[in-house]
Each structure stands twice: as structure tokens, then as C-alpha cells.
Amino acid sequence: MTWIILGIIGFYAVWAAFIAWSFTGIKKEARIVYDAARQRGEFPADEPYEPFEQAHIRTSVLRVSIYRWLACLTATIVMPLAVWLFSTIWVKLYYVNGANDVFAEGTLVHSFYLAVTTMASLVLVAGIYAHRYHKGRPANFDVEWAKEKAPDPATLNSWGVSEQ
């Protein structure tokens, strides 16, 4: 059992390392795109790089990678809890209703409802993360770049730094 848990932790650690590696690649890509656009004259030569970089990172594939990682980690934690909760409630109802053998653990009825419960818990986790992803998704690069260049004064903290 310990090796299984360590394997799962190792899997998520390697996946997180790949996400961190893609972050460094996206930062390099932002510099390349910025330099190419500046050479083509798409914006003035004195345009600052930092807002461009932040907008590029926010609109990149990195965000969806992080949400997928978090959703899978959450599902890995929620799934055993859902099975435990379902089985606990099932056994209590089994004995309350007179211990009918048709509803015993491991029978077809129990296995069917256990499968439905696990699928429902996966759909719930996926739905929560999909909602959060699409609710906070940046509109497009140009909008994010404009926000980074001129942050809303209402979102600035006492030091003048944007809290978004």
C-alpha cells in the first residue's frame, strides 16, 4: 500500500515538474514573440516587456495544464472518500432495512450504485474545475495586455501593486 501511495505522489510530482518546465518554456516563448513583434513594428520600441510577458503567460496553455493537474489531484482524493461514504451509508441502510441479501455489499445492485456514485463524484469534480476555469479565463491576449499595462486603480493595494 505504501508503494502505491508513493507511486501516486511520484506521478503527481513528475507531472508538476513538467508543468514547471513548460512554464519556463512559455516565458522563453514570450521573449521570442515580444522581440519578433517589436522588430516587425507592431508596437513602439519603448514598450515594456513585463506586461507583455504576464499577458502571454495568462493566455497560454499553462493555465489549463494547472487546472487539469488540480482536478486530477482532487479526484484522486475525492474518489476514495466517495466510495467510503457511499459504502458506509449503504451498509447502514442495509441493516436498517432488514439485511436483505439482494442489497448486500458486492452484489450487482450495490456495484451498480457504487459505479454511479463514483462517476457522479468525478463529474462533480470536473464540473467544478471546468466552471472555475471558464469563469476566470482571460478573454484574449490583447485584453490581458491592456489590463497589464494599465491596471484598474480599484484593484491596487496600498503599495500600488495590482492584486489580480
- Break the chain into its structural domains and give their ranges: 2-150
The DSSP symbol for 18 reads H
69-125 tens-digit pLDDT: 999 999 999 999 999 999 899 888 888 877 777 677 777 788 899 999 999 999 999
pTM here is 0.71
CA within 13 Å, CB half, 134: 5
- Report the pLDDT value the prediction gives residue 44, as an integer from 0 to 100: 77
What residues pair up with 162 in beta bridges, in sequence order? 156
* Burial of 145: CB neighbours in 10 Å, binned 0-12, 13-18, 19+: buried
**Are the C-beta atoms of 148 and 51 separated by less than 8 Å?**
yes
CA 103 and chain centroid, separation: 37
What residues pair up with 156 in beta bridges, in sequence order? 162
